[in-house]
Amino acid sequence: MSMKRLLAIARKELIQLRRDPRSLALAFLLPPLLVVIFGYAITWDIRDIPTAVLDEDNSQASRELLERFRSSGYFTIVRYLDRPSAADPLLSRGSIRIALHIPPSFSADLGAGRPARVQALVDGSDANTATIALGYARAIVASYSADVELAGRHIKPPIDARTRVWFNEELKSRNMIVPGLVAVIMMIIAAMLTSLTIAREWERGTMEQLVSTPVRREEVVLGKLLPYVGIGLIDVAVVSVLGILVFDVPFRGSPVLLCLLSICFLFGTLGAGMLVSALARSQLKATQIAMLTSYLPAFLLSGFMYSVDVMPTPLRLLTTLIPARYFLVVTRGIFLKGVGIDVLYPQAIFMLIFALAGVFAATRAFKKEIV
């Protein structure tokens, strides 16, 4: 392999890229735009849940419990009801997400040491919101119950559970989402960028000139990959800085390690895009295939939206072929945990294997001949 020819191919690709505004926009504008849009749009933090209240007890104890709900920031009381049946039409129309019913015996049961019941009616049409809302409600009621027990009996609860959250102390979903977006966005952008390279040569009629030169197949593939690896590293840096500055995501690890592991990831995904480009020979077809093979797997099978552990066995096996799954662990580990290569070496090995396989497959698929 001639380094001179390889660098000449890389320089040629940079010139072509500079003359293609669409590819430049895809390379430099789309990643920061996506991280800002997705960073604000995707969140599992739920606040200001519209709540209706039926307080039939109307005592100091019931008002204290409702104040706990109001001051938590998770619930916003929008309606006070006068009868139990009034909650049904509000839940059906979506005017409220949860209705709290405090029965008339609430304070009397508390004073007598009997279990006091509170009913929560939750709109389960959105299962995720319903589950989170119920979790918030249970936590508020449990805290209130423990305070009542301590105030009335002056004893400690039988179990004194003290929790400490590491790495994401405030349990902000953005701290988990934004590092994941680095992996997901870069898989999509990398595959999209290189899916156009060889197909563009065929459509513009410049492949005949390239085929007539003594340059080897691996020199063409690597030469075309090198500029996009540099662009990918710039995008990783830009997206990471945006996550830190705009979304206040902590960065506790090594930037050098993130850079090195990003190179492994980029070679694998760029090689996959180059493979698509070599097989498709049409920019439109290559773009469609690249979107199908990168966007959906990156979002659905990488562990970004859904945990891999809860997937059926066939899908879990399929996720082992998704490079973003391993880079997702890397970005979250470096951003939030500050871990090093001693922890991330399994992901590094898998991404290195994908990088070698991607470049090899792209080289084998590229034919230096006119068909």
> For the whole model, what pTM was predicted?
0.78
The count of domains in the chain is: 2
Considering only CA atoms, give the Rg of the chain: 28
User: Residue 5: left if φ>0, alpha if ψ -120 to 50, beta else—which one?
Assistant: alpha
Domain match, 259 and 222 both: yes
Q: What is the pLDDT along the chain (371 residues), one digit of tens a residue?
A: 677 878 888 888 888 778 878 778 878 888 898 898 888 887 777 888 999 999 999 999 899 999 999 998 899 999 999 888 899 999 888 899 999 999 998 888 888 878 888 999 999 887 778 888 888 888 898 888 877 776 654 444 444 555 566 777 777 788 888 998 998 888 888 888 787 777 777 777 666 666 667 778 888 888 888 888 999 999 999 999 999 999 999 999 999 999 999 999 999 998 888 888 878 777 778 778 888 888 888 888 888 888 888 788 898 899 998 999 999 999 999 999 999 999 999 999 999 999 999 889 988 887 765 55
Asked whether residue 38 falls in the same domain as residue 56, the answer is: no
Note whether residue 26 is domain-resident: yes
The answer to whether 269 and 355 have CB atoms below 8 angstroms apart is no
Residues 348 and 231 reside in one and the same domain:
yes
Per-residue confidence (pLDDT) for residue 369, from 0 to 100 = 59
Range(s) of the domain holding residue 265: 3-42+172-365
Domain assignment of residue 222, yes or no: yes
Same domain, 324 and 297: yes
Assess if residue 165 is contained within a domain: no
- Has residue 160 been placed in a domain? no
- Tell me: do 195 and 312 sit in the same domain: yes
- The rounded distance, in Å, linking the Cα atoms of 249 and 176 is 9
Is residue 72 located within the same domain as residue 188? no
Give the CATH number, domain containing residue 53: 3.40.1710.10
Q: Are residues 116 and 220 in the same domain?
A: no
Q: Which of 123, 153, 183 is the last residue of a domain?
A: 153
Q: Please, where are the H alpha helices in the chain?
A: 3-18, 21-28, 30-41, 60-71, 87-93, 106-111, 127-153, 173-194, 197-204, 207-211, 217-246, 255-280, 283-300, 313-319, 323-332, 341-365
Judge whether 167 lies within some domain. Answer: no
